[in-house]
Chain A
């Protein structure tokens, strides 16, 4: 599509000539590279609470970020006003980082032609408000009908449509239209006057509203949230100490995100502050483990046609049969480490500097029968669902909290436990993987990853996996 037909061409009259002149301004004081990131973001959030649609919010956010790189230095400025004077001013501020003659050889801008991983006739936020509000009303009704012990239901639906235009001094011109939708249901249940327990379920992706019509219906998420809360009503305190842990398929893949993913982001490895620094080619996991980061899966929450530096996303192998194969690069780290970008440069918004980030991170399926994995475990913890996790990439230590877990006794899943936290060390934890199931599942599409104050949507996935040794933190 010619720039003149693109969103920014149509709405703001931005031309290739404009972009080239802003880039020249940015490189006016020297520097090796410059880029522009234009963003127009429209968001909606609708939520129901106590069966009342209490909150309905729509918003528009618009701006441009200008970056100049000179050696290892980055200058950054942004403007929420797209007038040429304001963009030029931002370019001059970003240019302050550089001095001396520019080392950029002038090239014309060439449009990255691409695939469309999220082709949509109608983006969610272009559908009627009435249609979208019905999703939360249905979730509320279904959760209340599912079990008499449910006494609080909150359901929220949010969507966004983000138009981006990226132009770089190495000649890339990319435009993209990035939809995102998510529906979540949170419930509280209790038995008589007992302690309440929470259940949460949700899903979404870079999808249209039709996504919520089939197996991802509001009723599905409502029933799943209720099921999780009800299970917790009978839960006993989590055990404490080292034991065998079996991860269920899907969302428990967040373990990979924390235990290895962050430590493989190239900015940390450029600075040699990651527990995985200088370990390419080494065995960092059991030979049963192959872990990939794939930004090219259709309609997935973590997927992008192009990353936030205009580079096409790819499927990157991080660990292959237990051996560390590669890092995730953005342009700056690939430039400094003499590698190639892996399409992993992401940012929260035009107000933020891009850095290497994950997209959809998961472990490939193995050969084991999931039921056999449980049967082979005399005593341990089975984790079906997690809340969030966190990692210290320098020591490699990570933790994450199980929101639904059970004891495994004599090869059977028995009592539910509450409040279990798992902790381990990134380059060590996966060495104890002894069985990998054939049941790879990706999560339902609710992940948010935070790094250095920037949040981006991500996906995770894993098959059923047995880890022979891991520390479980509970009180029991």
Chain B
């Protein structure tokens, strides 16, 4: 673990050299990955790195710098560089650090770090990747090829110090196993993938399950057709619904709000979605990827209800965006190691409903079940939504055939109002999670 004292020293040095306030982040990480392809080991990567970042204020002027050179000389240069940049920036009346009373760290074990990952030998890690791929390759004769499977592990540490008296640190770990098989039938070739990831090795799904799930997802895409252009109900599976949650986050984070660059700006207290939509940001849930004892400004993580049964209740804010909006930080500051903090999320999710995904599918007479979204056609300013999609066509409550090379379009405003069901399948495989979602109607463009 990096020395906490190094961060405190950098802050002191900045103050000595003329800064009125300073904050320093140190981050270190070690990454490992083993990739296999067609039953052979293909790539092994194993390395670590460290980085320091500093942000200084001289009055209301801000400058930032970062370096991978953590020697005394490297840190001194970083301090001088940040101060020189503050001198050429403009006074920003809202530039600040959190108040001392807002600073703090959650107590108790958040289960962000587990030693059991380190204990898995390289040979066992390679074996996990081989097993995942083998499970996919042997699942169906149409799985004829593979883009590979992998096992990866990460351990990291983060230290934060500021001139208002905060000094804290925490360690994290994670591991994941994934598989990406390729299936062929006639002229049709398709790939898909599945993965499991966890902060401790014992919580990882078995490689065989991951491989099988990847194979199922891939094979069911074979022989995809294009459908005629029409308006139909659309079901987002838990993978694609997750990207929709990402769009909701982009629309409620404070930066876009104070700039009036979000379609949810000015809508606090108003109905913005159907009753089925309750969206929560919770940075305190033990063992999950969006959890941390404090945010990247040293404010304790917390739980915030963002949308409560369709009514917009809160934006997600850091110190800066809170000041701009005349509000208080929600402990959502996020940044790499340097620069002004942006807004990030903890565990950002949509609360699950009662019906299983199967029940939701059975309730749709004719519609689209989306399993993949590609492209960037989401405009948070206007809410316009138009993305490339692939999935399965539903006829009379059952999957009829796969579809691809289509787009789905609507506005996010309408989609949120049109959520008719949230599934009972909420699962955290990352810091954003959603159950299956049913949207009453979208335009599907095909032939």
Contact residues of A with B, CB < 8 Å? Answer: 45, 48, 51-63, 72-80, 90, 93, 96-97, 129-130, 133, 151-152, 188, 195-198, 237-238, 240-242, 271-273, 275, 351, 353, 387-392, 394-395, 397-401, 418-421, 423-425, 471-475
Please give 11 more A-B residue pairs, beta carbons under 8 A apart, in addition to A58-B81, A96-B122. A53-B89, A56-B85, A72-B37, A77-B47, A97-B44, A390-B374, A395-B224, A397-B404, A398-B388, A419-B409, A473-B387
Cα A275 to Cα B443 with chains together (Å): 28
- Minimal beta-carbon separation of A126 from chain B (angstroms): 14
Cα A72 to Cα B35 with chains together (Å): 12
Cα A79 to Cα B377 with chains together (Å): 39
Cα A474 to Cα B51 with chains together (Å): 44
A399 near B377 (CB under 8 angstroms)?
Answer: yes
- Give the 3 A-B residue pairs with the shortest CB-CB distance, closest first: A473-B407, A399-B388, A419-B384
Cα A266 to Cα B53 with chains together (Å): 38
B190 near A351 (CB under 8 angstroms)?
Answer: no
Q: Name B378's closest neighbour in chain A (CB-CB).
A: A401
- Minimal beta-carbon separation of B327 from chain A (angstroms): 18
Q: Name A61's closest neighbour in chain B (CB-CB).
A: B68
B41 at the interface (CB under 8 A from A): yes
Contacts of A387 in B (CB 8 A): 376-377
B443 near A397 (CB under 8 angstroms)?
Answer: no
User: In B224-280, which residues have CB < 8 Å from any A CB?
Assistant: 224, 226, 229, 259-261
Q: B43, B47, B339, B388: which contacts A421 (Cβ < 8 A)? A: B388
Cα A58 to Cα B190 with chains together (Å): 44
Q: B51, B382, B406: which contacts A197 (Cβ < 8 A)? A: B382
B44 near A76 (CB under 8 angstroms)?
Answer: yes
B145 near A272 (CB under 8 angstroms)?
Answer: yes
Contacts of A389 in B (CB 8 A): 375-376
Stretch binding the partner chain, chosen from B57-65, B112-120, B431-439: B57-65
Contacts of B410 in A (CB 8 A): 475
Stretch binding the partner chain, chosen from B90-98, B171-179, B290-298, B301-309: B90-98
Which interface residue of A51, A57, A80 has the most chain B CB atoms within 10 A? Answer: A57
Q: Name A97's closest neighbour in chain B (CB-CB).
A: B44
- Minimal beta-carbon separation of A155 from chain B (angstroms): 13
B390 at the interface (CB under 8 A from A): yes
Contacts of B382 in A (CB 8 A): 195-197, 418-419
- Write the B118-129 contact mask toward A (1 if CB under 8 angstroms, else 0): 000010000000
- Minimal beta-carbon separation of B321 from chain A (angstroms): 12
Q: Name A79's closest neighbour in chain B (CB-CB).
A: B47
B85 near A198 (CB under 8 angstroms)?
Answer: no
22 A–B contact pairs at CB < 8 A? A52-B92, A54-B92, A56-B62, A60-B69, A60-B74, A72-B37, A72-B42, A75-B43, A76-B46, A129-B88, A152-B260, A240-B443, A271-B37, A388-B375, A389-B375, A390-B376, A397-B388, A419-B384, A419-B385, A420-B386, A471-B406, A471-B407
Cα A23 to Cα B406 with chains together (Å): 50
Contacts of A241 in B (CB 8 A): 229, 445-447
B41 near A73 (CB under 8 angstroms)?
Answer: yes
B105 at the interface (CB under 8 A from A): no
B408 at the interface (CB under 8 A from A): yes
A55 near B339 (CB under 8 angstroms)?
Answer: yes
- Minimal beta-carbon separation of B439 from chain A (angstroms): 13
Contacts of A197 in B (CB 8 A): 381-382
B420 at the interface (CB under 8 A from A): no
Q: Name A267's closest neighbour in chain B (CB-CB).
A: B147
User: In B402-442, which residues have CB < 8 Å from any A CB?
Assistant: 404-411
Contacts of A74 in B (CB 8 A): 42-44
B49 at the interface (CB under 8 A from A): yes
B62 near A198 (CB under 8 angstroms)?
Answer: no
Cα A60 to Cα B45 with chains together (Å): 24
- Minimal beta-carbon separation of A449 from chain B (angstroms): 13
Cα A53 to Cα B64 with chains together (Å): 12
Contacts of A472 in B (CB 8 A): 407, 445
B11 at the interface (CB under 8 A from A): no
B65 near A424 (CB under 8 angstroms)?
Answer: no
- Minimal beta-carbon separation of B228 from chain A (angstroms): 8
Which interface residue of B41, B63, B89, B446 has the most chain A CB atoms within 10 A? Answer: B89
